[in-house]
Structure formats: structure tokens, C-alpha cells
Structure 1
Amino acid sequence: MAGKVLAVLLPLLLCLSGLAGLLLLCIPTRDVREPPAYKYGIVLDAGSSHTSMFVYKWPADKENDTGIVSQHSMCDVHGGGISSYAEDPPGAGRSLVSCLNQAMKDVPKERHSVTPLYLGATAGMRLLNLTSPAASDSVLSSVTETLTQYPFDFRGARILSGQDEGVFGWVTANYLLENFIKYGWVGEWIRPRQGTVGAMDLGGASTQITFETASQAEDPANEVKLQLYGQSYRVYTHSFLCYGRDQILKRLLAGVLQKWSSHPCWPIGYSRQVLLKDVYMSPCTSAQRPQDYDVNTEVTLSGSGDPILCQQLVSDLFNFSSCPFSQCSFNGIFQPPVVGNFIAFSAFYYTVDFLRKVMKLPVTSPGELRIAAKALCNESWVKLLERAPGQQARLADYCACATFVNQLLLQGYKFDEHTFPSIAFQKKAGDTSIGWALGYMLNLTNMIPPDQRNFRKGTDYGSWVVLILLFIVVILVALAMLFCFARSSKSQSAI
């Protein structure tokens, strides 16, 4: 009996299996792309006060010639910016070694030779290049020598223009907010078709404002046209050199030395030894520089904590009296009216964050910003130390910074009761730092060709469903016949 069942079962199973195999051969296939590998890029943001390294990554395929880039890791370089090594150029290169060694670990070893490495220097090096082109060249040569010793694909070290810095910061902000493109829940890239945000950056030596505008700029130097993710953008941008945080503080010190014996923007109870060389060697203070002065002279200055005089001192930094265009920000620079939402980062963020978190003051309107700046300038040194004991290095300068931010945003850029609430003071968007480096990387990925992706044979979803059902039927038939065979054997044994 068992032999008869097997004689019937085996040919049937073989027949069904052969039929399934034949169907499998007949089902049409198509080329299926394997998921792309990641590419990496490294950008060194060589600012006026410090250098930061950002490692970015993106899939090897691209969307409309612009890579989908995300921040992989970052590293802050110890010490000052590379421009501070003007008298010791080799030190500029040595300062980058620690972070570059980290990049060796962060980027997979097999990708080292094809990972582009860039260094972009900003306003600090722009100033150094103005005062001493030879020193600037020596610093760039030093960092270039260091960067070429690593196995990455070094693409150069250069000084960015103020326009580049502003536009790339704008690109970064809008990219992180997914205003250009986003990955939809259905698994496809979509363009949100929404407005962009303006970007305001307050660095150590310059400040930038950049926003999209519908009208043509009256000054062509302030207009940039961009093509990103298949869309065109007309952008207004301007960079104010010598209006960064560090240079503003030097210019205020120079003004104090000309007019007063105490610093109205420093708190009462605070004093500092000021080396005249540190004040007057900057090109930003050249107009205030005495004809004859001893660079090694030190002057002791104390704070008077006078918000009215501090505001007057800060106002002297701006020129609102002349405008060759229909409308200007300050210093005769054309600017259309600010429209839409804005993100203010770098020192904008740190200043407003201090007012909110340390001083516990709201900053949601022009009036509140004025009141907060005044309250900060009225605070004594002792009280400030009690409020922020861990911030002693920069604590005395917050009054000047808050007063300057107030003047720049309200009188300079013309934000008012209606437009000021549209400013978001942010340091990051998600886990990514806001600044020009990511926008720089997004732009540079256009120069990197996409990898040729491997193909494998794949079958359509519907064909796989048919095959799976067929194999299930084969298995069920086999199980049924084995069950019948088992029952038959058991019955014979019982007899």
C-alpha cells in the first residue's frame, strides 16, 4: 500500500515542482537598482574666532544635480581662528590636526581617497588679507600643507567672499527646514512649494543678511540667482565687514578711548587691562587709530553701566544719513523691505539666548528687546556673576552685544512690530548646525559625479504573489497526501 501511495505522490510532486520552475522562467524580470553607497565630504569652517570641521554624507545618487546631504559629525578646533596665526603661520596648520585625525575615523577607510576636503575661511581672513596679504598667503599655505598630508581628496583652501558666506548660510537654513525638498511618507522626493526663510548670521568679524525677494535689486552687487532642486530663486544678500561681534567690541573700545575714561557698556564693578595694540591693529579701527601711540601701552578701563551712553556709543557705528537708492539699511547699502520668516543664528542666537535664559526676560517684540538690553546694561558685575558664574570670559560684553543687536535689527535692517516676531533665534535645526558650511557642501556636490550603481534581476510584485501561492498549493497537496498515507498505514497495522 505504501509503495502505491509513494508511486503516485512522487510523480505528482515532481510535476508540480517542474510546473512552478517553468512558470518562474517565463515570468518577465526587470533591472532593480541596489541601494546606493554613501559619499562623504569634509568642510572646515575657518571663522575669525575659531575653526569647526563638519563631515557630511549623502547617497551616491542625486536629486536634480544637488546631493541630499546630512551632517555626519563635527569637531571644534582648539584655539583661535587661523587668522590669529598671522605671526606663526605653521601653527595654523598644526591646529587642525586633531580634528583631521577624527575625520580619519568618521569617514570609512575605503572612502578616504574619494572624499573631498575643503577649507573655507571667512571674515577674519578677509581682514588679514586686507592688512597683510603676505601673512594671509602664508597662513593658507600652512593649512594647505597640513591638509594635503591626509588621504582625502583635498580640493583647496580659499577665502570666501561675504556674499558667499551669506548665500550659503541661507541655503543651509532652508535646506534644514525642508523648504527646497523633502522625503515624503510615500517614499518619494517632493518639493513643498512653500516660501523660504531669510537668514541672518552674526559672526566674529562680519554680519550677513540674506532673503528671497520678488523684485530685482537696485544694486546688482546685492542680488544672487540660484538654481536648487529644479527651482529658481532670486536672493538679496549683503555682508557687513567689521560688524561682527569681536570687531564691534574693538570699535566700541576705540570709541571709549577717544571720548570717555570709563566704558558705558561694561557693568559697574568690572575693570580690564586693555592693550592698545589689540584695539588699533585691526583694519576695522583704523579710522579711530591715533597717529602716534605705543602699541605696548596698557590702559585700565572700568565699567560705568550706563545704557543711554552705551546706546549712543553703538549708534555711532551706523550711518543712516545718506542713501543713494530708494531705500537702504545703513551705510548707503541698498536693502528691500524684509519679508517672511527669518532665522538668526551664531552670535544673534547666543545674545538673545542670554537675555532669555540668564536674564529671564522675554524677547518677542522690538519693545521687549529694548527693555531687555537696557535691563542687562543696568546690571552690576556682581549680579551678573551670580546669574551666570560659568560665563565670566564673555559676561562683561553682553550689554554691548545686546545693544548692538537691538540697533542692527530695528534701525539697521528695519524690523518692526509686525516683522520682528517672524525672527527665530536658533543655533541648530534638528541635529545640524546652522551656518554656511552645509550650504557650501550642497553647492559643491554638483561637481561630484554620481556613482554607477549595480543592477540585479528582480521580479514584479504580482509575479511573486502568483509563485508564492503556487508553492503553497504544492506544499498543501504534499501534506494532504502524506496524511492520507499515514492513515492508510495505520489502518493496515490495526487489521
Structure 2
Amino acid sequence: MPPPTVVDSWLAGRRFGIVIDAGSSGSRLQIYSWKDPRNARHDSGGGNLDFLPRVEKGAREGEEWVTKVEPGISSFADNPEGVAAYLAPLLEHARTQVPPSLQPETPLFLLATAGMRLLTPNQQAYVLKETCTFLKFHSNFRIDDPSEVGPCGTSVRIITGEEEGLFGWIAVNYLMDGFASSDDQPTTYGFLDMGGASTQIAFEPSKEESEKSDNLMTVRLRLLSGKEIHHQVFVTTWLGYGTNQARERYVGQIVNDYEASRPSSTAEHIVYDPCLPKDLRLIERPIHATHSSQHSSSTHTLVGTGSFEQCLRRTSPLLNKDALCPDAPCLFNGVHVPPIDFSAAHFIGVSEYWYSSEHIFNLGGAYDVVQYERAAAHFCERTWNNIMEQHERSRNQGHLGGDGELEKNGQIVQTGIWGEKVEISRLQMQCFKAAWIVNVLHEGIGLPRIVDPGGNSTTSGSKISDKADSKGLGRPAFQSMDTVGDIAISWTLGKMVIEASKEVPALPSARPIVDPLDDVPDLSKSPVKPIRPLIDFDAIEDSISHRLPSSLTRHSLGFSPVGFLFYMVVVCTFTFILFRLRHRIRHSLRRCIRKRDRVFAAEGYAMEEGYSLNGGGDSPPSRPSSPAARLLYKLFDPTARSSTPTPRGSKSSFIAVPSAESWRSGHKSPNRASPVQRSLTYPAPKGLNGHGVSDSSNGGATSYIIPGSPRLHDGSMSSLTARSRNSSRMDLSTVFPR
């Protein structure tokens, strides 16, 4: 279908924006549109302009404003080159919906979520780079230049769970007129989102609490009048508290309890689970089992008992309410959340809050805990065969009440489009998910229960608002929603509201409108930490490519010159450091190598003198007996020598031994050991002389002075290794001349 033209009256003065929600299971492209703020001002005729630009679908009719491809973009972590073919259908669809003349000024965003967060930084960088290259060189849409955020700036990046919550909060309040200031609606709506892995909360605390809190994010939007509105929003994410991961922790808990009380003679591993419909049997291997039993991590058969009341009690400890709270107050798992005044704050839940309420119980919308629990208890206590019989009847009649139902113009046109397994999986987990949502809302977040004194057995969803008013709560404290009008509640809508607000002409001295995370002056103190990829040489080169000759670009050379220069600088720096430290490195290597040779030589000389290495043998003589031996001893005694130093390279020095005085007295010698003696001091075995001579001045250590040591003048070990360990021969010709 050819793209529309600006001749169409609907397109006159219309602006477009495109967001690709790159999730874990698929990527959904959504096209939004709004009137040019300048034209909207002119059409108002000077009336009240204190409202935000009206963001609508990007198509006049039908569902052409949205399309989706599968699987998630994170599946290309090991094959980034496949991203181009993966995104090509989405890009082609966007070209057919946005007029060619408007494409250069239409912003295009690809914002990745949960799946990409699980990849390594290198994988994230490669996927983002290929995505940026494809979108930039195969489309005319507006894409940011490279920056520290990524290769395509803020146009292609990974957003945090907190950013999803902030964008969702903006979308909810935009659709529900939460930003309009009036007497009957003095505050904004809170936003609750629950997926399979995490759950999020975003709300605007009271003015008193906002003044006390320093972990709030500032949301700035610009009205058509040019006036800015500021809201201080608290947002946080509980990882591991989505329905799927909570279920995994729950299975590990009940298996631990079973293994702790299981008789050793029991062969079968059957665990009774109150959170499954009655008689449903599932075989599961616990992931979070911690019991010491060898069977705790093996497969177990879970048999449903269908007790919603017991399921509530068994799942409540999973909230970890007793966790350490470093910054009070905390809701659950030790996460700080400012106090919530439910008499003024009202919340809207999306995703799993809506699915678990509407798809099975048909209770989406205003929430009544009693009515919800009654429906959940009735579902859980039904037998699994009875549930499956109703499921088959619904499929045959074309009225499938749950996942897999496709409705168009008020008529169900197809059922089971997501496959039978997905639908059955929801039926299996519905009892647990219902209990988990009730616990998160009331035990975790602290939502008050509206219960009449005489019980609540007749109220319906349409009467919740009246009952809330009678109890002083005004609007319903909580309601689950999926769409408002014909626009789905999605964080992508919140992102487009910001983009439309950016185009409103600003008043003098006003700052540009940016994303909340980009509005933080110091990211080191931000309560939300952005996800930044590793250094990307191609992105750096793209930012300076217009200053380089064409022959030096990446496309001409076949490689990145910026990356080449970077690696050359790293190699040169490393080589320079090694060159400056070469003497220290060589000295350290010599010490390590020669330490072994010194010990070897010292043992050889000890054996030469007749001293045992294992504690046996004779002790050193107290005093030489013969005159010749006394003369030799005097010649080699350092304390008896002349003060004249031995010339360097002299061959008259064979070995120096401890002084005779130290042998005779056994007391500390008044003469300090020479540096060579200290350097060759080895501890003697306890109670023995070891393989040397004990010197009391060294605390019982044994001192050796070895000729040829690196610490002596000749610097050679040849005189040691040339002598036999078993020879005590000494050439006396050097001592007694002929």
C-alpha cells in the first residue's frame, strides 16, 4: 500500500513518531501522531491552552499503526548481522504509513527492554551497533548522532525497568487526564506493572513526603501554552517478583518443606500444592531448592489441592517482608518506598494485573478484593478435568474466555491464535497468579481492603466506585486496565507524549524538554542508573567522519582507523611501561630462579662439613684442636680477620662460617652479621643445627656465606657447583707456602 500524501486533510500539519518496543519475545513497532503544536495553537482561537498535545494513533483507521515480528532482538546476541533482515519488515511497514516528505523529521526509536538487559555488555554493544547501522543507512527517519549513550544516541538504546515505569506513569496519567488540575482530581494516578520477571511501581508522593525524599525523578512536560508542569515521581522495580519467577521461588519453597519432613522410606516425590487446581499433576524440577537432601533438586510431582486460602498463606513469605530495610520505610524485600496515602493516591495496574483479573474472572476494571478472592477460590477448588471440559466447550463455541481470543469490531473472529499450550499454561497458573497479585497488592504495597462489616457477597465491579466514595476513598483505590478508548496503555505512549511536548514552542529562558533520566544533573547521584554500552569505535568515527578524508574512512579501509589507533596507543603504552620496569622485572626473575640454587648450594656445604640435614650427625666442634686447624679457623673467622677488605674477585675466599666466639659461648655475638650473612640466613629445624651453624644473634637461625653468590663480588655460582658434596678436600697450598 503506498504511503499517504500530505494532500489528505487528516495529514495537514500532522507530526509522527515511531517507537519499536524490542522486548524479550518480540519487537513491536507502534506509530503515533499528533498535530503540530503551532497549528494546534492557531486552531484553538486563543482559548485555554493549558493541556498537552493530543497524541493519537499513527493511522486514521484500522490497526495499521502497529505491527510485530518475532522473536526478540536479544536472540541475535551471537549473530548480530541477522538484525538487518529481522528489522526490515518493521522498517518497511513504517515507510508505508508515514509520508516520504515527513520522514526526515519523524523521530524513530528502538528501545530494548528485558531481553537485552540479560546479555553481556559486549553482546549488547554489537547488537545495538548493527541495529543503529541498519536504521541509519536504510531509512530517512530522524535518528540521533552518536553520543556517550550509544552509537545512535538516545534513538537506539536499552532502557531500565525504572524508565519503563516512568514512561508507563506518563501514559496512564495522560490517558486518564491525571495531569489536568481540578478540584475533584487533585493528584495524579499511580502506576503498577507486573510481568513475568519483575514488578514495578511509580507514583507521585504527597508534597510533605516529596520534601523529605531525595530519590525522586523529575518529570517535565510542556503544555501547549508553553507553560511547564513538573512532577516528582518515585519509581522502583522488584526483580524476581514477577509471576513467573515468584512461582519458581514458590516451588523451591514447598519442595524444601517436603524434603524436610519426608520419610526416608518414601520412594515417590509427591508434593501437594494448594496453588494448583484440584487433581492437576505437574512434574517440575525446583530451581531454588536449598534443602541439604540429595533429592531436593530432583524432579517432583506436584499435585493440586485447590485451596486458595492456603495458597495465600504459602505465598505470603515470598514477599520477604522481614528483609533488612536500610532506608525506612520499606514495603517488601527491603526496598525503600515513600509512604503512600491511599485516600489521595489511586493506582492503575496493567499487564498481569489486567490479564489475571479479566481473562479468567472477567473482573477487569475497578477492583474489589472480596469479589476477586471469591472468584479465585471458586476457580481453584474446581477439578482440573472440569476446567478442561469448559475450555474445550469455549473453543468449540468460539467464546474462549482468556488468552488466544481475537476480537474485532465487537465480534470474536478467531480463537486459540497463540496456541493451545499458552492457554492451558494460563489455566494451570491462574490460581497461583491470583494469590500472588492479592498478596502483592495488600501485603506488599499496603492497599487497604474495602470490606463491609456484614461481609461483601453481592457487590459487583460497577458498584465499587460508589462504595469507595461512601468510605471516604473517592475514586477506586486500584483498578486494572488495558486500554483507554482505543489506545492501549503502554510505556511507548509515555515516550511519545514527551516527544510531542518537546515540539511545543518554549517560553523565554526555558530549558529543553528531555527524558527524565537525561534531566538528572549528576547521574552518580541518580536513583536510576542508565544502561550504557561499552566503547564503540565505529560510533566515535561516525561522529568525526565528516572531518576525515574519504580514503581514511572505515568503509574505504575496511577497518576502523579509530580502533586501530586506540590499540596502537595501548600497545605502545604497555611496551613503555615494561621497558621502564625491565630492571625490576629481571631482578625479580633472578631472585626466583637463584633462590632454588642457593638452597641447593647451602645443603652441599652443610654435607661437606659433616652436618646432618635431618637432625643426625655431630654438632659443630666447640674449638679446633690441632694447630693447623686453629690456624685455618682463624683465617676464615670474620671476626679475626683484618679490617682490610678482600679485593674484588679474590680467589682466596672459600667459605665463611660463624665466629668461634659464637660457637664457644652460644650467646649473641657483639658483631653484627654482614649483609651477605643476613641474606643467606635460613631457619634451623627446631632443636637442631639443621644443615648449617646456629647463630644465637639471629634467633637460632643458620647463616651461610657462599662464594659465588650474586650478592658477592664475583657474581658466579660456578665455584659452588664444581665442588663435590661428598668431598672435604681442601688445597692447603694456598694457605701454607712451600
Alignment of 1:108-123 (within 5 A): 108-123=99-114
Tell me if structure 2 keeps the 8 A contact 1:86–1:135.
Answer: yes
In structure 2, which of residues 3, 25, 29 is the aligned counterpart of residue 53 of structure 1? 29
Measured after TM superposition, the shift of residue 111 of structure 1 is: 1.8
| Residue identity matched to 1:434 | I
In structure 2, which of residues 208, 216, 241 is the aligned counterpart of residue 215 of structure 1? 208
Measured after TM superposition, the shift of residue 396 of structure 1 is: 1.0
Greater relative CO (CA pairs within 8 A, separation 6+): 1
**How far does the alpha carbon of each residue in 1:313-349 deviate from its partner, in whole angstroms, 9 at most, with x for none?**
4223212124445532212222312333322111111
Match of 1:101 in 2: 92
Measured after TM superposition, the shift of residue 103 of structure 1 is: 1.7
Cα gap change, 1:157 to 1:247, in 2 (>3 Å)? farther
Cα gap change, 1:195 to 1:305, in 2 (>3 Å)? same
Q: Give the helix-richer structure, 1 or 2.
A: 1
After TM superposition, the score normalised by the length of structure 2 is 0.47
Distance 1:249 1:176 in 2: 33
Distance 2:482 2:162 in 1: 21
Aligned: 1:245 with 2:246: no
| Residue identity matched to 2:159 | L
Measured after TM superposition, the shift of residue 59 of structure 1 is: 1.6
Distance 1:249 1:223 in 2: 32
Aligned: 1:69 with 2:69: no
Aligned: 1:382 with 2:385: yes
> Which runs of 5 or more structure 1 residues have no equivalent in the other structure?
1-34, 183-189, 451-495
| Residue identity matched to 1:267 | P
Cα gap change, 1:192 to 1:102, in 2 (>3 Å)? farther
Match of 1:480 in 2: none
Distance 1:336 1:150 in 2: 48
SS at match of 1:154: coil
Match of 2:368 in 1: 365
Tell me if structure 2 keeps the 8 A contact 1:305–1:379.
Answer: yes
Distance 1:227 1:215 in 2: 22
Aligned: 1:351 with 2:340: no
After TM superposition, the score normalised by the length of structure 1 is 0.68
Measured after TM superposition, the shift of residue 448 of structure 1 is: 5.0
Distance 2:303 2:87 in 1: 37
Measured after TM superposition, the shift of residue 403 of structure 1 is: 0.9
| Residue identity matched to 2:21 | D
Cα gap change, 1:325 to 1:200, in 2 (>3 Å)? same
Match of 2:220 in 1: 226
Match of 1:3 in 2: none
Match of 1:463 in 2: none
Match of 1:38 in 2: 14
Aligned: 1:398 with 2:374: no
SS at match of 1:224: strand
Tell me if structure 2 keeps the 8 A contact 1:210–1:237.
Answer: yes
Measured after TM superposition, the shift of residue 233 of structure 1 is: 1.9
Match of 1:411 in 2: 443
**How far does the alpha carbon of each residue in 1:215-266 deviate from its partner, in whole angstroms, 9 at most, with x for none?**
3345533443534422222222222222223333333344455445445423
SS at match of 1:153: coil
Measured after TM superposition, the shift of residue 179 of structure 1 is: 3.3
Tell me if structure 1 keeps the 8 A contact 2:16–2:31.
Answer: yes
Tell me if structure 1 keeps the 8 A contact 2:356–2:434.
Answer: yes
Tell me if structure 1 keeps the 8 A contact 2:37–2:503.
Answer: no
Aligned: 1:330 with 2:337: no
Pick which of 64-73 and 101-110 moved more: 64-73
What is the aligned-residue RMSD (CA, Å)? 3.8
Distance 2:365 2:68 in 1: 34
Q: Give the strand-richer structure, 1 or 2.
A: 1
| Residue identity matched to 2:95 | M
Cα gap change, 1:257 to 1:78, in 2 (>3 Å)? farther
Tell me if structure 2 keeps the 8 A contact 1:201–1:348.
Answer: yes
Measured after TM superposition, the shift of residue 411 of structure 1 is: 0.8
| Residue identity matched to 2:316 | S
| Residue identity matched to 1:158 | R
Alignment of 1:300-315 (within 5 A): 301-315=302-316
Measured after TM superposition, the shift of residue 432 of structure 1 is: 0.8
Tell me if structure 1 keeps the 8 A contact 2:364–2:479.
Answer: no
Cα gap change, 1:59 to 1:84, in 2 (>3 Å)? same
Cα gap change, 1:306 to 1:181, in 2 (>3 Å)? closer
> Which runs of 5 or more structure 2 residues have no equivalent in the other structure?
1-10, 39-48, 59-63, 145-154, 259-269, 393-399, 401-422, 451-470, 506-738
Match of 2:672 in 1: none
Distance 2:127 2:253 in 1: 31
Match of 1:236 in 2: 234
Measured after TM superposition, the shift of residue 364 of structure 1 is: 3.8
Distance 1:133 1:52 in 2: 23
Distance 2:140 2:29 in 1: 16
Match of 1:154 in 2: 143
| Residue identity matched to 2:379 | L
Report percent identity of matched pairs.
28
In structure 2, which of residues 487, 493, 500 is the aligned counterpart of residue 438 of structure 1? 493
Cα gap change, 1:249 to 1:224, in 2 (>3 Å)? farther
SS at match of 1:180: coil
SS at match of 1:317: helix
**Largest Rg, 1 or 2:** 2
Cα gap change, 1:42 to 1:341, in 2 (>3 Å)? same
